[in-house]
């Protein structure tokens, strides 16, 4: 998301005759590269901490702030080495026994995702998590463990390795499950699995999280997700609580191959997306042909607040990601609401018949 300075935080500080604004600028200049585009962000972070110190209200609040900052910085640093690898977060019950068909399916899923050069991210525990990591192997596994006085221990694949991160706060762990995910696969599970499923769908539906493929995986003939989808369709869609197009945000699969293919095809042409001021930019591996552009401008104009769809070159506003400058770009004034319809649009541009024969 674009950075917008918080004027309330950035206001001029005066305490005991000391100009804190100048002191903050001096400190940032000492520790950060002078050409870093993040300098205003670091400045506002420090000012936020200073404001908390000035208020000096509650020790518990200060400890929460400290723990949060420490965990986030450690996670960012640890995950930097995996930055350019696509990752799939797998959720499911930690109580699934090793002789259950879904356990075998999750193990096969891990192996299949690894075959597609996709890393498997799980909570690092037992059951579905252990199965997915077992299938993927250590080189293709990341575990986000939660520190508890009981129950949760890391599985054998990631235990004691650099591919395991431990979190004190559930909300931070959930943040990284979604932040790192280029796709999500949800196997049958309990309250936690359902919580993750609905939270992920809510984040994507509201645009708070980038659009990624969400696969509901069950054993052949299983009814766990089939029954859940029937409830969603009847009660949520039927009562107008969600848009009918929101059903496109998830895909029901009954095999590891189908789940992996759903994720792989999502990135066949689509690479990534971002907002550039009021324009939503979709980065593409292949340029779209003229018939595809005509189809977009006739069938998907409901996604545009104004105007239509245009192909555009790499621009100066994207200089923070120069490694992506070679990608083609599709831009439009997205209404920011109907992400189910946006998924339909991505399905269209991922079809090879809509690409230019030569780029």
Number of residues that this document lists for the chain: 359
Render pLDDT for 36-75 as a digit per residue (tens, 0 to 9). Answer: 989 999 999 999 999 899 889 899 999 999 999 999 999 9
Stretch 80-94: mean pLDDT, rounded?
A: 95
CA–CA dist 57, 76 (Å, integer): 29
Q: Where are the beta strands (DSSP E) in the chain?
A: 14-15, 18-19, 87-91, 119-122, 141-146, 164-167, 183-186, 214-217, 251-253, 270-276, 279-284, 310-312, 328-332
Q: Which residues contact residue 88 at a Cβ distance below 8 angstroms, ignoring those fewer than 6 apart?
A: 113, 118, 119, 120, 121, 181, 182, 183, 184, 185, 263
CA–CA dist 120, 143 (Å, integer): 8
CA–CA dist 50, 56 (Å, integer): 10
Residue 23's pLDDT is what?
87
For all residues of the chain together, what is the average pLDDT? 92
Q: Are 228 and 212 in contact (CB under 8 A)?
A: no
Ranges of H-type helices in 80-127:
101-115
Residue 317's pLDDT is what?
73
Stretch 297-313: mean pLDDT, rounded?
A: 95
Q: What is the pTM of this model?
A: 0.89
CA–CA dist 336, 78 (Å, integer): 32
Stretch 118-143: mean pLDDT, rounded?
A: 97
Stretch 1-25: mean pLDDT, rounded?
A: 64
Stretch 176-186: mean pLDDT, rounded?
A: 96
CA–CA dist 167, 178 (Å, integer): 15
Residue 81's pLDDT is what?
94
Higher pLDDT, 30 or 15: 30
End-to-end CA distance of the chain: 29
For residue 133, name the pLDDT band (cuts at 50, 70, 90).
very high
Stretch 73-94: mean pLDDT, rounded?
A: 95
Half-sphere exposure in the Cβ direction for 297 (13 Å, CA): 15
| Exposed/middle/buried for residue 290 (C-beta within 10 Å: 0-12, 13-18, 19+) | exposed
Render pLDDT for 210-221 as a digit per residue (tens, 0 to 9). Answer: 999 999 999 999
Percent of the chain having pLDDT more than 70?
Answer: 93
CA–CA dist 51, 53 (Å, integer): 5
Residue 17's pLDDT is what?
54
Tell me the three state secondary structure of residue 143. strand
Render pLDDT for 93-115 as a digit per residue (tens, 0 to 9). Answer: 999 999 999 999 999 999 999 99
Order across the sheet with 251-253: list the strands. Answer: 164-167, 141-146, 119-122, 87-91, 183-186, 214-217, 251-253
Residue 10's pLDDT is what?
53
CA geometry: angle at 179 spanning 132 and 104, to 5°?
Answer: 10
Render pLDDT for 197-241 as a digit per residue (tens, 0 to 9). Answer: 999 999 999 999 999 999 999 999 999 999 999 999 999 999 999
For residue 14, name the pLDDT band (cuts at 50, 70, 90).
low
Percent of the chain having pLDDT more than 90?
Answer: 81
CA–CA dist 79, 109 (Å, integer): 23
Q: Are 341 and 300 in contact (CB under 8 A)?
A: yes
Residue 321's pLDDT is what?
78
For residue 4, name the pLDDT band (cuts at 50, 70, 90).
low
Q: Are 81 and 114 in contact (CB under 8 A)?
A: no
Answer yes or no: is pLDDT of 298 > 70.
yes
């Amino acid at each position: 998301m674009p950075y917008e300075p918080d004027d309330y935080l950035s206001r001029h500080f005066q305490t005991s005759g000391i100009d804190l604004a100048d002191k903050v600028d001096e400190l940032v200049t000492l520790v950060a590269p002078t050409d870093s585009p993040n300098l205003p962000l670091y400045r506002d972070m420090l000012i936020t901490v200073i404001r908390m110190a000035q208020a000096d209200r509650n020790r518990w609040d200060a400890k929460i702030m400290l723990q949060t900052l420490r965990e986030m910085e450690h996670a960012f640093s640890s995950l930097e080495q995996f930055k350019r690898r696509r990752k799939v977060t797998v959720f499911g019950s930690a109580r699934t026994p090793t002789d259950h068909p879904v356990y075998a399916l999750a193990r096969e899923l891990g192996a299949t995702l690894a075959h597609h050069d996709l890393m498997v991210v799980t909570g690092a525990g037992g059951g579905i998590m252990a199965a997915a990591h077992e299938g993927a192997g250590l080189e293709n596994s990341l575990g986000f463990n939660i520190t508890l006085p009981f129950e949760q221990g890391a599985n054998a694949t990631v235990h004691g390795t650099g591919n395991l991160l431990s979190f004190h706060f559930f909300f931070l762990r959930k943040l990284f499950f979604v932040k790192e995910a280029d796709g999500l696969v949800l196997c049958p599970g309990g309250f936690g699995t359902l919580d993750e499923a609905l939270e992920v769908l809510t984040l994507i539906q509201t645009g708070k999280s980038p659009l990624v493929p969400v696969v509901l995986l069950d054993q052949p003939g299983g009814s766990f997700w089939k029954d859940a989808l029937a409830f969603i369709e009847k009660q949520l869609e039927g009562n107008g609580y969600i848009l009918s197009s929101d059903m496109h945000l998830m895909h029901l699969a009954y095999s590891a191959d189908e789940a992996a293919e759903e994720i792989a095809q999502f990135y066949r042409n689509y690479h990534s997306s971002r907002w550039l001021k009021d324009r939503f930019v979709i980065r593409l591996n292949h340029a779209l042909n003229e018939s595809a552009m005509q189809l977009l401008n006739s069938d998907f104009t409901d996604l545009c607040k104004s105007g239509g769809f245009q192909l555009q070159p790499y621009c100066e506003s994207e200089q923070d990601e120069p490694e992506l400058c070679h990608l083609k770009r599709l831009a439009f004034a997205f209404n920011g609401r109907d992400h189910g319809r946006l998924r339909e649009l991505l399905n269209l541009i991922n079809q090879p018949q809509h690409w230019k024969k030569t780029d």
